[in-house]
Structure 1
Amino acid sequence: MRLLRSTAGIALAMAVMNIGTYAFQMVAARMLGPSQYGAVASMMALLMVLSVVQLGLQATAARRISAEPDDVAAIERTVLLTTWRAALILGLLALAAAPAVWQLLRLDGLAPAILLGLCVVPVTVMGGQAGVLQGERRWLPLSLVYLTVGVPRVLLGGGFLLVSATETSAMLGVLIASWLPVAVGTWALRHRPGDDIEHHDVAVRRDVLKETLGSAVALLAFLALSNLDVVVARSVLDEHDAGLYAGGLIVTKAVLFLPQFAVVILFPSMSTDGESREAVLKGLSLLAGLGAACTAATYVLSGLALVFIGGDDYSGVQDQLWLFAVLGGLLSVLQLLVYAGLAKRGRATKYLIAAGVVVLVVAGAMADSVLGLALTVAAVDAFVVVLLIVLQAFRHRRLAPATP
C-alpha cells in the first residue's frame, strides 16, 4: 500500500492496467479467431474514440485542481456533475448509433453494438473521477482506480468468453468490468464538498466546459489517428485479413501502452516554461529508444510475439509484426507531443493531427493487403510526428527570449 501512495505506484498501476487491457485482447484473439476478433477489436477501438470526453475531463480536472487549490471544492463538484451529464448524453447518442455500428462493423447482431453504447457511460464517469483524484494528488485511490480498469476486464471478459465465445459475451464482460473503477472512484469521493460553493458553480462550469472541449478535440484527433485504422481494415479487407491486421495491432498497443507513465510524469514539467523544452526532449529520447528496442525485439522474436497475439491462426501476419511495433513507437511519440501541445494550450496541434486522420482514412481506403495498410499508416504517423516536432521547436524558440 505504501508503494501505491506514491507516483511510482501510479506507474505500477498503469502498467498493470495496460497489461490487463493487452491480456484481454490476447485472450479474445485466441478464443474468437481472426474473423470474430476483428469485430471485437473494432468495437474496442470505437470505444477508445468515444472515451475522448473521459480524457478531456481528466486532464481538465487535474490541471485546474492543481492550479487553483483554493477552489478545489467548487471544481470537484462541477467536474463530477459535468461528468455524469456528459456520460449520460454520450451513452444515449451511442445507443442511438448502435444500428449503424452493427452494419458498419458487420457484427453478428445488434446486441454487441448496444453493449458498446452502454460501456460509454462508466468509461466517461471514470475519467472525471480520476481527474479529481489526480489533481488532489490522492495517489492511493487513483492507483486503485487504474488497477480496477485492467484486471477485471481480462478476468470478467475472459470468463464470459469461456462460457460463450461470441462478440456479445466479450462486450458484456467489458461492460460489467467498466463499472468497477467507477465504484472505487465513488467510494474515494464519497465525502461531498461543503455547501458554501454555490457562487463558484456558474463560472467554474463554464471554464471547465471550455477547457474540456479544447482538450477533448485534441485528444479525439489523436485517438482517431491511433484507432481508426482497424475500422478501415474492417471496411476494406476481407474478414480474415482484417482479423490478421487487428491481431498485429495487439503488438502496436503493447508498445504504445508500455511508456504511458512517462507522459503522466512529464506533463507537469511540460506545462512549466523553464522546464518544458527539457521535458519534451527527455520524453522524445525515452520513447524513441523504447520504440526502437521493441521493434528490434519483435523482429528477432516474431515467433514468441505470435504466441502472444493469438497463435498459429495469425501466422499470416508474423513477418509484419515488427512493422506493427514501429506503429506503436510512432504513436507513443505522437501521444507525448499531443500532451506537450495541451500543456502550452497550443491550437495547431489538433489541426495537424486532424489532417493526419483525413489522410489516413483516404489513403487507407486504397489499401488491398495487411502489409499495404500497415505501411500507409506508418507513413502517415511518421509525417505527423515530424510536423509536430517542428512545431515544438518553433514554439520553444519563440518562447526562449521570455524564459529566464
Structure 2
Amino acid sequence: MMSTRPRLPSWLTGSGVIAIGMGVMNLGTYGFTLLAARLLGPKEYGALAALMGLMLVTAVVQLGLQATAARRVSTHPHRLEETEAEVVRASWKAAWALVGITVVTSPLVVLLLEPGGPLGGYAAALLLAASCLPLTLMGAQAGLLQGERRWYSLATVYAAVGLGRVLLGLGGMVWREDVTGAMVGVTLGNVVPTLIGWVALRRRVPAPSAAPEHESPEPATGVLTEVAHNSHALLAFFALTNTDVILARILFDKHDSGLYAGGLILAKAVLFLPQFVVVIAFPNMNDPAVRRRMEISALGVVLAMGLVATAGAGMLRSLAVVFVGGPEYADLEPAIWAFAAIGTLWAMEQLMVYSTVARQSRRSVGVIWLGLVALVVLAQPAHTVAHLLEVVAAVHVVVLGVLVVLSQTAHRRHRPTAVDPGADAPAPPAP
C-alpha cells in the first residue's frame, strides 16, 4: 500500500513550502489590517485592533495545542491514531472552555474597550468568543500535520488563515463598515483553515508499526496538562517580547513612545521572517538523537537571516523608515538597524522556547519570566529610545544565552554513555 504522504527530497523543500504558506498568511493578515484602518476610520479601527490583540492572547492556547500535538506525533509516530484521537478530544475541551471564559468576560471586554471606540454593544465581544472555537481546533490540526511532516497540507492551512482573514474580513466590512462587520468576517475567516485542516486529516498517512529506535518515553501527564505547560511557555515569551512597548508608553512622552512602537514594526517583521524555520525544525527537536544538531543548524539559519535584515536596515535606513510608518518616523533612522537586531534576538529566543517545549523543561520557562522582571526593573531609568533599546538588547542576550546553555546541558545529559552504547534505558528527564 502506497503512502499518501508527499515525497519531499529534503527538509529545504519542506521549508520552502511552509515559507510560502506562512508568507501568504502574513501578507493576508497585514492586508486586512491596512484595509480595516482605511475603511473603518480611527475610532472603529482602534476598537478592532484592541479585539485582535485579545484574540492574539487567546491564541496562546492554539499554539500550545499545536506544539503538544506536533511533539507527541513526532515522538511516537507508531501511535498516530491514538495520539490524534487524544489531541482532538483535548482540543474540543480546550476550545469550549476558552469560549466559555471569553463569553463570561465579555462584559469586562466591553467595559475596558468601549471608552476607546464603539464596540457595537456586546456583538463584537461575543464574536471574539466565537472565534476561539475554530482557532483552537485549528491549532490541534496544524500540530498533527506538523508532527507528521505533511508540509503541503500544513502550508495550505497557513495560507487559508491569511486568505480567509483578508477576503472574508473585507466582505464583512463591506457589509457593515464597523467593528461588528469586521469581526463577522474575521470569525468566518477563521473557520476556513479549520475546515481545510479537517479534510487534510481525513486522508490517513500509514504510521510505522514499531516504535522508533531513539523514542523517548511519553510523559505521564495528560494532553491538557501538557497544553497548559506549553501555553505557559509561549505566554512567557509573548509577555517578554511585548512588555517593552508598554514600558515605552509609560516612560516616554507620546512622540517618543510612538517612535518606539513604530520601530517595533520592523522588529516584529524580523521575528516573523524565519518563523518557517521553527515550524520545520520543531518535529526534529523531539528526537534526542538529532535534537542538538537540528537546534544548532536552525539557530544558524535564523541568525543569518537576522543579520542580513539588520545589515539591510542599516544600509537602507530611509526605506526601512518608510516600511515602519513613513516620514513621521524619520527620527528613527539612526537607530532603525537596532530594531532589526532586537527582532533577530526575538526570533532566536522563539526557537529556543520551542526547544524548551520539546524537552518539556520547566526551568527554562522560569528563566523567561525572570528576564521579564529584569526588563521591567532595568528599564526604569530609561528616558530615550536609544537607552531603552540598550536595556532590551542586554536582557534578551542574557535570556537567549541562558536558554542555550540549559538546552546544551540537557543534550549532554541525554547523550548515550560509551560503556553501554546499545542501552535501552530511557534518558533522564530534561530540566
Is residue 182 from structure 1 mapped to residue 191 from structure 2 by the alignment?
A: no
Aligned to 1:377: 392
Aligned to 1:309: 324
Measure the CA separation in 2 of the matches of 1:156 and 1:86: 26
Instruction: Could you tell me which runs of 5 or more consecutive residues in structure 1 were left unpaired when the two chains were aligned.
Output: 193-202
Is residue 284 from structure 1 mapped to residue 292 from structure 2 by the alignment?
A: no
Measure the CA separation in 2 of the matches of 1:370 and 1:31: 32
Note the C-alpha offset of 1:127.
0.1
Measure the CA separation in 1 of the matches of 2:163 and 2:7: 18
Q: 1:359 to 1:344 in 2, by over 3 A?
A: same
Q: 1:100 to 1:364 in 2, by over 3 A?
A: farther
Q: Which amino acid aligns with 1:107?
A: G
Contact kept, 8 Å, 1:34 with 1:314, in 2: the verdict is no
Instruction: Could you tell me which runs of 5 or more consecutive residues in structure 2 were left unpaired when the two chains were aligned.
Output: 1-5, 205-217, 422-431
Is residue 225 from structure 1 mapped to residue 203 from structure 2 by the alignment?
A: no
Measure the CA separation in 1 of the matches of 2:164 and 2:246: 26
Note the C-alpha offset of 1:255.
0.6
Is residue 127 from structure 1 mapped to residue 151 from structure 2 by the alignment?
A: no
- How do 1:30-109 residues align onto structure 2 when only pairs under 5 Å count? 43-101=51-109, 107-109=116-118
Note the C-alpha offset of 1:361.
4.4
Measure the CA separation in 1 of the matches of 2:333 and 2:127: 32
Aligned to 2:424: none
| Identity between Structure 1 and Structure 2 (%) | 45
Q: Which amino acid aligns with 1:257?
A: F
Q: Secondary structure at the match of 2:18?
A: helix
Q: Which amino acid aligns with 1:280?
A: E
Aligned to 2:27: 19
Q: 1:392 to 1:248 in 2, by over 3 A?
A: same
1:216 counterpart (211, 217, 231): 231
Is residue 269 from structure 1 mapped to residue 284 from structure 2 by the alignment?
A: yes
Contact kept, 8 Å, 2:21 with 2:158, in 1: the verdict is yes
Q: Which amino acid aligns with 2:229?
A: G
Q: Secondary structure at the match of 2:289?
A: helix
- Higher mean C-alpha displacement, 92-101 vs 279-288: 92-101
Q: 1:79 to 1:205 in 2, by over 3 A?
A: farther
Q: Whose Rg is larger?
A: 2
Q: 1:252 to 1:100 in 2, by over 3 A?
A: farther
1:299 counterpart (314, 329, 342): 314
- Higher mean C-alpha displacement, 16-25 vs 262-271: 16-25
Measure the CA separation in 1 of the matches of 2:17 and 2:244: 33
2:267 counterpart (242, 252, 257): 252
Q: Secondary structure at the match of 1:75?
A: helix
Note the C-alpha offset of 1:85.
2.1
Q: Deviations over 1:12-67 (max 9, x none)?
A: 21232233334444555677889987765555444333212111211222222333
Structure 2-normalised TM-score? 0.76
Note the C-alpha offset of 1:145.
0.7
Q: Which fold has the larger relative contact order, with Cα–Cα distance below 8 Å and residues 6 or more apart in sequence?
A: 1
Contact kept, 8 Å, 2:67 with 2:357, in 1: the verdict is no
Note the C-alpha offset of 1:83.
1.0
Q: Deviations over 1:321-377 (max 9, x none)?
A: 322212210110001111222222222111111222333345557755655544443
Q: 1:204 to 1:326 in 2, by over 3 A?
A: closer
Q: Secondary structure at the match of 1:402?
A: coil
Contact kept, 8 Å, 2:169 with 2:184, in 1: the verdict is yes
Contact kept, 8 Å, 2:74 with 2:283, in 1: the verdict is no
**Bigger fraction of residues in helix:** 1
Q: How many residues align?
A: 395
